[in-house]
Structures are given as structure tokens and as C-alpha cells.
Chains A and B, each alone.
Chain A
Amino acid sequence: MGTGYNKTHNILVLADHLSHTKTIQFNEDMLMKKSILFVCVILLALILITPASICKAAEPYKIGAVFSVTGRTSFLGEPERNSAKMFEEQINAAGGINGHPIELIVYDTEGDATKAKNRIERLIRKDKVIAIIGPSLSGTTMAVIPVIEKAEIPFVSCAASIKIVQPVKKWVFKTPQTDTQAVEAIYLHMKKHGLTRTALLTANTGFGSSGRVQLKKLAPKMGINIVADEVFGPKDTSMTAQLTKIRGTDAQVIIGWTVGPTQVIMIKNWKQLGMDKKFRFYESHGFGSKRNIELAGGAAEGVYAPLGRVVVADILPADHPQRNFVLKYKNDYEKKFKAEVSTFGGHAWDAMAMVTMALKAVGPDKAKIRDYLENIKGFAGTGGVFNMSPQDHCGLDSGAFEMIVVKDGKWALTD
């Protein structure tokens, strides 16, 4: 307090001399000038407010991460942050990488593209990290890609959109399954059951709209007929009007594409309107939380969804290649955070796993890490088995989902 006070005061006095103002008398003119100077002082003071960096004995490998931990899309960012932190803890407990501990620096983007860009700059310039994982959203990822490419730093996104890796960008990778794969899973399942006419019910958010685009793009190729295309807002309290409109069509199936409370509200409305007997309901791969079944209070019964294996680890067949890895992650997570595991947290876990694998193999060299990431083969993560290549920076095959139906308030595998 004292020093800042004196500094401000000294600068003000100095300014007096500079401007040759002889009057010491208090007047408006002077006040104004002080105020303008104060603008400069405040901005200069920014420099003083910085925590000193802590030095450690063994040089840690710094990995940066940005997730939307708070804000509208916190349901993505929070499990991602938790998973990444848990990974850091486990690897350091096991002695780190080649004797080096890892230091994970996580910043919150609040789902905001501008903030995401600021945080990435901070990670690159101030924290000087070796690699970056996150952001959680396609929008925030797309906004930071120019920065990443310019800074030439290995980057593994945790967002779904296919645009992130198509066209391929040199430094950009991603772990989540793309929406396309989830859409394919649903359409294949529909056709297997002889259903071809669908209504779309999507949120006008990044997640919903990205799904909507893929649903519309793939439909003609896969022989599916879209008979209604309705949207709603992420904070809407009722989807009854949209469903009523769908009810008047000859759709056989409703595909709902959203995350957050609306994914529960829409199936509640579907059940309340008595539409469950006539229209089968598919949710997106974002539906994978048992909480949703509880929240829907019985309305989730009979709802289908393509889900990642993390969520359904305990019902996977014993000989499934991913089972052990996924089950361990699930159990660790649920024990540590007393919260249910979600597919989203797994994306960050996979990203951490790949980056640390690279670090272990090639050391803290950004270009070599990038080359290593591009050549990862047969890595069984939470999202599926990754086979990266120069043409494919996601590397997951289409079999990354299990089609699940809600039965007696539980997930059940279906064919």
C-alpha cells in the first residue's frame, strides 16, 4: 500500500514540474491532468502485479492446458481439468518422466474465444510450456489455432468438431471422437432397425449446430430422410412447441443434439406429450452421464445414445481391448472426485497420455513431440484406439461408440 501510494504521488509531483504548472492551488484543470496521468500509472502498475515464479530443484516439464472450467460449458471443462490434474498427480507420484516431474498449468477460458486466445498467449509467452492441451470447445479451439500454428507448439484439442483436423494443420491434434462418427453410429443403428425418417431437434450452440450440420450432411449419403429440423436455445425451459411440430410429421425417430439441462428437458417433454410410443428418441454422445437418467425421472427409459466406452466401462465385455484401461480411469476418477466420470474428462486424459508418451520418448523438443504425436499407433485411450498419421490428426476409427439404450434406469448394450 505504502510504496504504491508514494509512487503514484511521486509521479504526480514529477508531472507537475514537467508541465511547468506553478499553481499548487487545488483546481479542476490540475485534477484532470492528474487523472489522465493516473490512466498511465494504473496501466504501468499492471507490471508490478505478478507472482514470482517458483523454482524447483529438478527442472519440470511444463504442459499447458485451457478448458472452459466455468461458464455455460463448464460440464466439459470441469471433468477435463480434473482428469488432467489427476494424470499429473499420478505420473509425478510414479517418479515423473525420465526423472523430470511434470507441471500442469491450467487456465479457465469460460468458453470465451477471446479469453482462450489470451490464455494461450500467456501459456506460450509467460509460462513457456512445451505443449498445450484443450480447449474444450470447437469455437475456442478454432480461435486459437492461428496462434498455435504461428508459435509452432504441439497442441492436442479436446473439442469435437471435424473442422479442427480437416484440413490437417501441422501442429494441431485432437482426441475426441468427431460428431461425424456419432452421427454415423446413429444412422447405421436406425437402418439396422428399418427406420429411415428422422426429425432433428438441436440446440443453437456450437455443440448442437456442429451436430446438426453433420446430421444433415450425412443423411442423403446414408439413405436417411430428414422430415423436420427444429432448434432451441441452450437455456430454454421447454421444447414442447418444437416436439408438437414434429408430432405432426411422419418421422419415426427424433434425434436430439445438445448438452446440459436441455438434453433432459427434451426427453421429459417427449414422454409428457406421450410421443414415446410412436417416436424413438436418440440422444447425442453428449448424453453419457447417469445423472441424466436420474434427472429425467423415468423419462429416459427407452432412449438410445451412442456413448463412449468410458461411461459404460463396467458393462463392456471382459475381453474388450479398452476395458481395463478405461475401467481404471473411471474408478480412479470417481474415487478421487466423488463425481461420476464423463466422456469429456476422458478426452483430456487421452491428450495428457499422448503428450507425456511423446515427452518420454523424445524429451522436451517441440518439433520432435509433434512428429511423435503424428506417428502414434495403436494407443488404446478412453476414447478408442488411436492411429495417427500425417493425413489424420485424430486417428480414431468409427467404432469408437457403443450404442446404448436406457433400460430399468441403467445403461444397457444393444445391437
Chain B
Amino acid sequence: MENYGLINQLAQYLITGITVGSIYAIVGIGFNIIYNATEIINFAQGEFVMLGGLVMVTLVHTVHLPMPLAFLITIAIVTLVGLLMERLAIFPLKETSVMRLVIMTIALSILIKGLAMFVWGKNSFALKPFSGDTPLSLLGASIVPQTLWIIGITVLLVVLLSLFFGRTIIGKAMSACADNLEAASLVGINAQRMVMLSFMLSAGLGAVAGMIITPMALMEYDRGAMLALKGFGACILGGLGNFYGAVVAGILLGLIESYGAGLISSGYKDALALGALLLVLFIKPSGLLGSAEASKLKKF
């Protein structure tokens, strides 16, 4: 046996947990942005992630664009998909129930998945890592550079988003709509525009998640649902609408899965994460960082 002790293993589980958790966190934030504007859970969120990965693969490996350019174009394309989705399918349904909108997003996710199957086929695709594939070593744990990209970009996104919501007019308007839609409309904020923006922003975020995870985990047309499920978990566990909550909860879920698989049972790792989520909800019905009072103002 090589000199590979428990400490090294624990360190490796930590890295794995944070990496996987970061992706859940970004997807979770995407859910929150749309929730705040509309009170709906967008089941097509995972489809944005899938599209992000696959569009990037095409731009880099087929069109041969340089990576940074491809990165930006991918965000633009997927954001456009978000915009179209809102204009064509969500906007026409105004004055309706939340349930109907949620079902609409399920129908949309089926449709987007179907379209992606025609464009890219059913195979998985790989994307070259952003900066090489030589692992670094930390406490005996090996870290691939892509891991650092994933964690770094997640941190950057959180910082940028808090600046956006705290410092810019549009961001503040969006937060106002999230807090109280009617009051926001009264002071002259165009709520419809904010819903549209929320879909675009959330689609763009999803695209980023897709692009950074593809070099590690490949991507194919039907990956979206599973990622959406985990992101939804993160967003609920953290407290609906609270994006710091989604970050904390996403990483927590990633860690539970990773340590659960390593120390308890890999077969039950997802059950452990979901069990923890249930436990939190039973003790604190509005999630880790969610406020019970704020959620009472919402219908959903």
C-alpha cells in the first residue's frame, strides 16, 4: 500500500465536495433569480447548463474559436435562449397560476432537450480543460486545474451578483420586485421587464455552469434534469430566493455526497444528501438562510 492515509483521503473528499457543490450552487442561484422575479421554479434551468456546455464544445472544437471568445459567445447564445423562452412561452401566460407556469417550464425543458438531441445527437462531448490537465498536489490530495477554475468562477460570480443586486439600478429594481412586486410596480418599476431580465440572467449563469463543468464531466443532451434536481435542492436547502443560501447549501450538499460516498456508502450518498435536506426542512421550514417572514409574503 502506498503511503496514503486518512488525512489525504479526507482532503480529497473536501476538494471533490467543494467542486461538485460549486456547480450545484450556481444552478441553485439560477433558480433563485427566476424565483425572485416570478415565484416559479424553472425546471428548464438544467437545460441552460446543458446548452452552455454543448454550445461551448461546438464553438471551441468545431468552429475553433479561442476559448475566451467562445466563452462570451456561449453566454450570449444561451442568454438569448432564456430571452426567447420568456417571451414566447412565459410572457403569454401572464395572469396565471404558479403551478401552470411550473408545468410550462417542464414542457419547455422537454422541448429544449429534444432540440438539443437533434443538433448534437445522443453522444457525450468533451471539452478541453481551460488550462492543462496536470494535477497539483495539496495535502496529498490531487487537484486538477479545472477544479480551481470552477471554484474561482463560482466565487467571482457570487461577488459580481452581489455587486449587481446591491449597487446597480437594474439590480436594485430586481431585488425590489423580489421583495414586493406590487410595491415595486407602484414606484414605477417595470415588473415585466424584470421577469425577462431574470430569465436572461439565469440562462447566462446556467451557461457558465455548463461550460466550466464540461471539461471535467463531459456533457450530453439529457444531463440537464439531474443537474437541475441538485440545484433545486441547493436552492431550497439554502432558503428560496436567498442566493448566499444557495451557495452555502450547494457546497454543503456537495460535501455530504463526497464524504458520504467516501466514509459511509457510495450507494446511499444521494439519499444521505436528500435526508439531510429533509431534516433541515422539518426543523427550519424555510431553509438554512431563508426567513420565515419573507416566505409568508409569497404565495409559493
* Contact flag (A, B; Cβ within 8 A): yes
Q: Measuring CB to CB, which residues of chain A are less than 8 angstroms from any residue of chain B?
A: 70-72, 74-75, 78, 204, 230-233, 235, 237-238, 240-242, 244-245, 247-250, 260-261, 264-265, 268, 272-274, 278, 291, 294-298
Q: Which among B124, B216, B262 is the interface contact of A241 at CB below 8 angstroms?
A: B262
Q: Which among A241, A260, A264 is the interface contact of B266 at CB below 8 angstroms?
A: A241
Q: Chain B nearest CB: distance from A293 CB in Å?
A: 11
Q: Chain B nearest CB: distance from A78 CB in Å?
A: 6
Would you mind naming 19 contact pairs between A and B with Cβ atoms under 8 Å apart? A70-B117, A204-B267, A231-B266, A232-B261, A237-B216, A237-B217, A238-B20, A240-B16, A240-B258, A241-B259, A241-B269, A242-B261, A244-B262, A247-B4, A264-B124, A272-B135, A273-B12, A295-B124, A297-B133
Contact between chains at A244 and B218 (CB < 8 Å)? no
Q: Chain A nearest CB: distance from B268 CB in Å?
A: 9
- The CA-CA distance from A230 to B267 in the complex, in Å, is 7
Contact between chains at B261 and A237 (CB < 8 Å)? no
* B213-233 interface bits toward A, Cβ cutoff 8 Å, 1 = contact, 0 = none: 100111010110010000000
Does B179 touch A at the CB level, under 8 Å? no
- The CA-CA distance from A54 to B225 in the complex, in Å, is 40
Q: Chain A nearest CB: distance from B165 CB in Å?
A: 28
Give the most central of B16, B17, B128: most A CB within 10 Å: B16
Give the residues in chain B near A72, CB-CB below 8 Å: 222
Contact between chains at A265 and B267 (CB < 8 Å)? no
Q: Which among B5, B213, B226 is the interface contact of A235 at CB below 8 angstroms?
A: B226
- The CA-CA distance from A238 to B261 in the complex, in Å, is 11
Q: Chain A nearest CB: distance from B25 CB in Å?
A: 14
Near A by CB (< 8 A), chain B positions 210-264 give 213, 216-218, 220, 222-223, 226, 257-259, 261-263
Q: Chain A nearest CB: distance from B258 CB in Å?
A: 5
Give the residues in chain A near B216, CB-CB below 8 Å: 237-238, 265, 268
Q: Which among B15, B122, B266 is the interface contact of A232 at CB below 8 angstroms?
A: B266
Q: Which among A249, A261, A294 is the interface contact of B220 at CB below 8 angstroms?
A: A261
Contact between chains at B266 and A294 (CB < 8 Å)? no
- With A250-B1, A273-B142, A295-B126 as contacts: A242 and B217 at CB distance below 8 Å: no
Give the residues in chain B near A233, CB-CB below 8 Å: 226, 270
- The CA-CA distance from A297 to B259 in the complex, in Å, is 28
Contact between chains at A264 and B126 (CB < 8 Å)? yes
